[in-house]
A and B are shown apart, each in its own frame.
Chain A
Amino acid sequence: MKVTRRQFLKVTGATAASFALVDLGFNLQATASAVKELRIKNVTPVPTVCPYCASGCGLVVYSERDAEGKFVKLLSVHGDPDNPINQGGACSKGAAMFNLREIYDEHTGEQIVNPKRVQKPLYRAAGTDKWVEKDWDWMLDQIAQRVKETRDNSFIHKETIADGSEVIVNRTEKIASIGGSGLDNEECYLLTKMMRALGLVYLETQARI
């Protein structure tokens, strides 16, 4: 039997240590040579924040990268021990973040990309019953055209208001936007700015539902 010198980190309550493994002087003997190599050994985790409830628990993502540093696959996602909110904790949802990108196949046990993730832009033409894969450029062009068409056809530039004066109101009520509470602040900001510049007034997010 292989006897290796190992280190043990004693984790007590709130003082959960972070990415480095701290040697507290225990020697553990690996009982069986069959104990798998720690797959996150020497992997630097990347901190993120849980995308579910708004508690703001930190999570860390361990991933495998090749020699050039190119991403290969996820290894594990778990609670960020440094984050003072959760101190390494994660509920079932937070702990399941790995599945957002990758899953283990039920039949083979193999690690695969979550088959439900959409990997290409899709277009559904009016009245048809299927999605068609399109490239990004085509999609964004088409969307921009629809936006322009609808906006230009419905745009209210000036209006006579209650006091009888005519003012610029710059709005369209034919385009609406919903959502955004799952986005980052910077994304929300671009969204709010773009939509309002287009004249949207039907602008809502999940805060209202």
Chain B
Amino acid sequence: MTNHIVDLKNTDCALIMGSNAAENHPISMKWLLRAREQRNAKIIHVDPRYTRTSTKADIYAPLRSGTDIAFLGGMIKYIIDNERYHKEYVLAYTNASFLVKEEFGFEDGLFSGYDADNRKYDVSSWDYQYDESGLPMKDPTLQNPRCVFQLMKKHYERYDIDTVCQITGTPKKKYLEVLEAYSATGAPDKTGTIMYAMGITQHTVGSQNVRSFAMVQLLLGNMGRPGGGVNALRGENNVQGATDMALLFHIIPGYIDSPTNGPDNKDLLAYIRKATPGAGKLQFDTLEEFRELVKAGFPNSGFKINTSKWMISLLKAWWGDAAIAENDYAYHYMPKRDANKNYSHIAMFEAMHKGEIDGLFVNGTNPVVGGPNANKEQEALSKLKWMVSIDLWLNETADFWTYPAWERPVENENVPKLSAADIQTEVFFLPAAAVFEKEGTAAQTGRWVQYRWQAADPVGESKADLWIYNELGKKIKSLYASSSKPEDEAITKLAWNYDDEHGHDDILKVAAELCGVNVSDGLPVEGFANLKDDGSTACGCWVYCGAMTYKDGEVIYKTKLRDNKDNSKEGLGLFSNWAWAWPVNRRIVYNRCSISPDGVTPWPGDEKRVLIHWDAAAGSWVGDDVCDTGKTSPPEKALPFIMRPEGMGCFFAAKSSMKDGPFPEHYEPWESPTANAMNKQNLNPATKVWEPDKQGTPDKYPIIATTYRVVEHWQTGALTRNLPWLAELMPDMMIEMSEQLAREKGIKNGRKVIVSTTRGDIEAVACVTKRFKPFNIHGQEVHEIGLLWHYGFKGFATGDPANRLTPHIGCANTMIPEYKAFLCDVRRA
């Protein structure tokens, strides 16, 4: 979330799209309903199915799964055509006026630079025109046909209301209501928030879906303001933290690109040149020279100009005394991935399925239920030599070798029938402590990092994961202790000292390293502005720097702060003294936009929602929130989007920001019942197709399927189906479908049905409901069904995993699987 949960109360209009907030983030509704009560805010819900969220919406608009860009592209066009955009904001805070290279173009669904053989774009034409000082050229009148605004207008010309409604299946009346209500937030005194979740991201165009949101919000001037923002409602209690800690192949902690084996990563200096925006063309041969350049500042760099400090502090945290200038601060201990290889979830399981992976750690996750194409992923597990599973329960993944794991309602040639004797995988199950049986911090969706204290003893011999990793780290280190091989140095020299004087793991030692310490005295670094790239600071994750402070001889972990008084004068609900938010306790990012460009005049009519303002006398930005711009940069220089090289909000995603185009364009899901009416490309041209032979076609599989969750369960259900109180509330795997489809197929409510795709079949109870209605797509009646993906064969509530049906294909940018739109057939069991 660019804003945070409590901030939802400040909105004038909420567009909930691709999220079932009332069910999956129930507390968000507390604040939305408050906005409605106190500010007369409107709530709009756009979803294929009428959900518990829809019941609380002022406007409910159905849309066919996988057509969000059509829906939002139409909204962009509507906003531009009807001049609903916030003009001053657009001009000052976005790249609307930037001129784009003449070579950039778009035709037949393809942007310039497409390489069909590799399904990849050469992004060199997706760039601005630069002046002689190296800065992008602009046209403040927004009239130049090569300016971003005009290109955008042209791009969305095709997204007229009728075409959009033909694609999305949204009734035109409803669509117009949504457009009218939401575009009203373009008024300077209004803000609107967009709340989304996996309904948006789990598509082959997932990232572009989110981009469309960003564009709508920038047009309407809703970014960086209370009650606005693009707000991802994240799904797991610390998925934000796990992402911050970079449990992802493509980054290392703090959203820094992970090193690759490309020539541009071959040593630390090359790496810094590549990873620091704007550094590519600069002349420097040593780190010292580079430091001087940074000190002077260089164009198109943004705040990431500091990357070298983050990187070297990280290396210092990991390899301690072994990280010195002479060995590139141990840069070479860090693994370098193959630059041409994808290591994401789908890729990992494809490799595992081919037998390329021997060992797997499963850290409180459950791919046998939650992974896409779960039949294949389960089979992949059987090819491992060993697997370590750490969880509270024997979940479906830990028990994948047991008989029930291989039972299927229908024989399917894709699914082998294995028995325990066939599976040669050794499985180590380590019982973990539950959340309140241990202590530590978690980052919630609004980036607040809150401490969780230990309230109970772990059950039996179960242990906190911290203990497990610490002990395992020590064991592994001791196995390598005698090695003097250079290839083992990354382990032998690894700084791994988290025990207290009694030999117990000390969480504060971990936290201190993570939040950053001065190497000389071991005291906390007060904020990432103080991180250095000379080895004098060590910091495991720069975005957390500042969470720990030193005051009056005492180290304070700010995540433990529990002062719940709202510090904002106008009652905006910032609660800045409650826990700590990254970065630097900033509660609403891009908050420079909460005031007009001059930095002193509030947006007309919106005096109460100003977060920061320029204090000329003091020469700095002041206000209720921590400013998101140079603290002492005067208004005309204080850029609003400092993590972008441009410093501006981007309608046009320049260069390699996106892999599949600078503007979002509608492409159909991989499996779609219809051809793309917007352009000639059916599928996102930049998406990798892993299993071409597994693409279901509408003749055999005419029904759209989507997956989702309910409030009573969570994710793969390991943490809910094992709880009797929750099993009671939603006891069986069920599939929702319209009354029309049920009639067509002779399906009765409450009876079993079988759903099939090219990947497999599942059996579940039918929930026939008026809440699903067939869509009218180009005059054709198209059915969609919904599957809960919480179920598996373990626990108090059981059922077939919906993901046995989902495909191995993902978003072009992130490789997040397309769980949300695929084709199936359904019949009576």
- The short answer to whether A and B are in direct contact, CB under 8 Å, is yes
- Chain A residues in contact with chain B, CB under 8 A? 45-59, 61, 63, 71, 74, 77, 82-87, 89, 91-93, 95-101, 103-104, 106, 113-114, 116-129, 131, 136, 139-148, 150, 154-155, 157, 159, 161-163, 165, 167-209
Q: Compute how far the CA of A21 lies from the CA of B45 in the bound complex, rounded to whole angstroms.
A: 40
A185 near B719: Cβ-Cβ < 8 Å: no
Q: Which residues of A contact B343 (CB under 8 A)?
A: 201-204
Q: Which residues of A contact B391 (CB under 8 A)?
A: 118
B119 near A: Cβ within 8 Å? no
Known contacts: A121-B430, A175-B359. The answer to whether A196 contacts B335 by CB under 8 A is: yes
Known contacts: A99-B724, A202-B348. The answer to whether A179 contacts B364 by CB under 8 A is: yes
Q: Which residues of A contact B423 (CB under 8 A)?
A: 126-127
Range, interface on chain B: 35 or more
Q: Compute how far the CA of A188 lies from the CA of B248 in the bound complex, rounded to whole angstroms.
A: 11
B386 near A: Cβ within 8 Å? yes
Provide the B279-306 mask, 1 if CB < 8 A to any CB of A, else 0.
0000000000000000000000000000
Q: Compute how far the CA of A185 lies from the CA of B465 in the bound complex, rounded to whole angstroms.
A: 11
Q: Which residues of B contact A140 (CB under 8 A)?
A: 468, 471-472, 475
The 7 tightest CB contacts between A and B, nearest first, are A119-B460, A56-B444, A184-B440, A179-B365, A61-B455, A46-B455, A179-B363
The chain A residue with its CB closest to the CB of B390 is A179
B461 near A: Cβ within 8 Å? yes
A106 near B363: Cβ-Cβ < 8 Å: no
The chain B residue with its CB closest to the CB of A123 is B428
Q: Which residues of B contact A178 (CB under 8 A)?
A: 345, 348, 360-363, 365, 367
Knowing that A97-B436, A126-B426, A205-B248 are A-B contacts, what are 14 other residue pairs whose CB atoms are under 8 Å apart, sorted by A's residue number? Answer: A48-B436, A53-B24, A53-B25, A77-B436, A101-B459, A117-B462, A159-B261, A171-B337, A179-B362, A180-B247, A181-B235, A196-B334, A198-B490, A202-B249
Q: Which residues of B contact A170 (CB under 8 A)?
A: 332-336, 487, 490
B223 near A: Cβ within 8 Å? no
Out of B401, B422, B439, B475, which one reaches A144, CB within 8 Å?
B475
B815 near A148: Cβ-Cβ < 8 Å: no
B27 near A51: Cβ-Cβ < 8 Å: no
B460 near A49: Cβ-Cβ < 8 Å: no
From A165, A181, A195, name the one whose CB has the most chain B CB atoms within 10 angstroms: A181
Q: Which residues of B contact A139 (CB under 8 A)?
A: 428, 430
Out of B235, B245, B263, B541, which one reaches A206, CB within 8 Å?
B235
A167 near B465: Cβ-Cβ < 8 Å: no
User: What would be 28 A-B contacts, judged by CB atoms less than 8 Å apart?
Assistant: A55-B26, A56-B450, A87-B30, A91-B26, A117-B392, A118-B394, A122-B394, A127-B423, A129-B419, A150-B385, A167-B261, A167-B266, A170-B336, A173-B356, A174-B359, A177-B360, A177-B363, A178-B365, A180-B247, A183-B238, A184-B238, A185-B443, A185-B511, A190-B473, A194-B469, A196-B318, A197-B494, A204-B344
A52 near B457: Cβ-Cβ < 8 Å: no
A116 near B393: Cβ-Cβ < 8 Å: yes
Out of B335, B430, B578, B817, which one reaches A199, CB within 8 Å?
B335
Known contacts: A92-B726, A140-B472, A170-B333. The answer to whether A197 contacts B392 by CB under 8 A is: no
Q: Which residues of A contact B348 (CB under 8 A)?
A: 176, 178, 202, 204
The chain B residue with its CB closest to the CB of A82 is B564
Q: How far is the CB of A70 from chain B (nearest CB, A)?
A: 8
Q: Which residues of B contact A163 (CB under 8 A)?
A: 263, 266
Known contacts: A49-B450, A205-B242. The answer to whether A185 contacts B460 by CB under 8 A is: no
Provide the B359-377 mask, 1 if CB < 8 A to any CB of A, else 0.
1111111010011100000
B6 near A: Cβ within 8 Å? yes
B712 near A192: Cβ-Cβ < 8 Å: no
B817 near A85: Cβ-Cβ < 8 Å: no
B352 near A: Cβ within 8 Å? yes
B430 near A46: Cβ-Cβ < 8 Å: no
Q: Compute how far the CA of A150 lies from the CA of B243 in the bound complex, rounded to whole angstroms.
A: 27
A54 near B30: Cβ-Cβ < 8 Å: no
Q: Which residues of B contact A180 (CB under 8 A)?
A: 242, 245, 247, 363-365
Q: How far is the CB of B668 from chain A (nearest CB, A)?
A: 22
Q: How far is the CB of A188 from chain B (nearest CB, A)?
A: 4
The chain A residue with its CB closest to the CB of B491 is A197
B345 near A169: Cβ-Cβ < 8 Å: no
Q: How far is the CB of A86 from chain B (nearest CB, A)?
A: 5
Q: How far is the CB of B476 from chain A (nearest CB, A)?
A: 5
B719 near A182: Cβ-Cβ < 8 Å: yes
Out of A97, A124, A183, A194, which one reaches B242, CB within 8 Å?
A183
B263 near A162: Cβ-Cβ < 8 Å: yes
B442 near A184: Cβ-Cβ < 8 Å: yes
From A173, A176, A196, name the one whose CB has the most chain B CB atoms within 10 angstroms: A176
A63 near B456: Cβ-Cβ < 8 Å: yes
Out of A54, A85, A118, A154, which one reaches B236, CB within 8 Å?
A54
B486 near A177: Cβ-Cβ < 8 Å: no
Q: Compute how far the CA of A157 lies from the CA of B791 in the bound complex, rounded to whole angstroms.
A: 42
A144 near B318: Cβ-Cβ < 8 Å: no
B729 near A: Cβ within 8 Å? yes
The chain B residue with its CB closest to the CB of A162 is B263
Q: Compute how far the CA of A70 lies from the CA of B392 in the bound complex, rounded to whole angstroms.
A: 22
Q: Which residues of A contact B578 (CB under 8 A)?
A: 83-84
A188 near B247: Cβ-Cβ < 8 Å: yes
Out of B436, B437, B498, which one reaches A190, CB within 8 Å?
B498
B682 near A: Cβ within 8 Å? no
Q: Compute how far the CA of A146 lies from the CA of B814 in the bound complex, rounded to whole angstroms.
A: 31
B507 near A181: Cβ-Cβ < 8 Å: no
Q: Compute how far the CA of A54 lies from the CA of B232 in the bound complex, rounded to whole angstroms.
A: 10
Q: Compute how far the CA of A149 lies from the CA of B360 in the bound complex, rounded to whole angstroms.
A: 13
Q: Which residues of A contact B494 (CB under 8 A)?
A: 193, 197
Q: Compute how far the CA of A96 lies from the CA of B544 in the bound complex, rounded to whole angstroms.
A: 31
Out of A91, A126, A129, A202, which one reaches B351, CB within 8 Å?
A202
Q: Which residues of B contact A177 (CB under 8 A)?
A: 247, 360-361, 363
B421 near A: Cβ within 8 Å? yes
Q: How far is the CB of B360 from chain A (nearest CB, A)?
A: 5
B441 near A: Cβ within 8 Å? yes
A188 near B238: Cβ-Cβ < 8 Å: yes
Q: Compute how far the CA of A129 lies from the CA of B422 in the bound complex, rounded to whole angstroms.
A: 10
A185 near B238: Cβ-Cβ < 8 Å: yes
B436 near A92: Cβ-Cβ < 8 Å: no
Q: How far is the CB of B753 from chain A (nearest CB, A)?
A: 26
A86 near B344: Cβ-Cβ < 8 Å: no
Known contacts: A121-B430, A190-B473. The answer to whether A161 contacts B266 by CB under 8 A is: yes
Q: Compute how far the CA of A23 lies from the CA of B525 in the bound complex, rounded to whole angstroms.
A: 44
B83 near A: Cβ within 8 Å? no
B723 near A: Cβ within 8 Å? yes
A207 near B729: Cβ-Cβ < 8 Å: no
Q: Which residues of A contact B240 (CB under 8 A)?
A: 54
Out of A54, A84, A145, A201, which one reaches B337, CB within 8 Å?
A201
Known contacts: A188-B242, A209-B370. The answer to whether A48 contacts B435 by CB under 8 A is: yes
A96 near B723: Cβ-Cβ < 8 Å: yes
B653 near A: Cβ within 8 Å? no
B429 near A123: Cβ-Cβ < 8 Å: yes
Q: Compute how far the CA of A125 lies from the CA of B421 in the bound complex, rounded to whole angstroms.
A: 10
Q: Which residues of B contact A179 (CB under 8 A)?
A: 247, 361-365, 390
Out of A57, A83, A144, A169, which one reaches B564, CB within 8 Å?
A83
Q: How far is the CB of B439 from chain A (nearest CB, A)?
A: 8
Q: Which residues of A contact B434 (CB under 8 A)?
A: 51, 100-101, 117
B453 near A47: Cβ-Cβ < 8 Å: yes
B253 near A201: Cβ-Cβ < 8 Å: no
B463 near A: Cβ within 8 Å? yes
Q: How far is the CB of A168 from chain B (nearest CB, A)?
A: 4
B666 near A: Cβ within 8 Å? no
Q: Which residues of B contact A116 (CB under 8 A)?
A: 393-394, 722, 795-796
A52 near B336: Cβ-Cβ < 8 Å: no
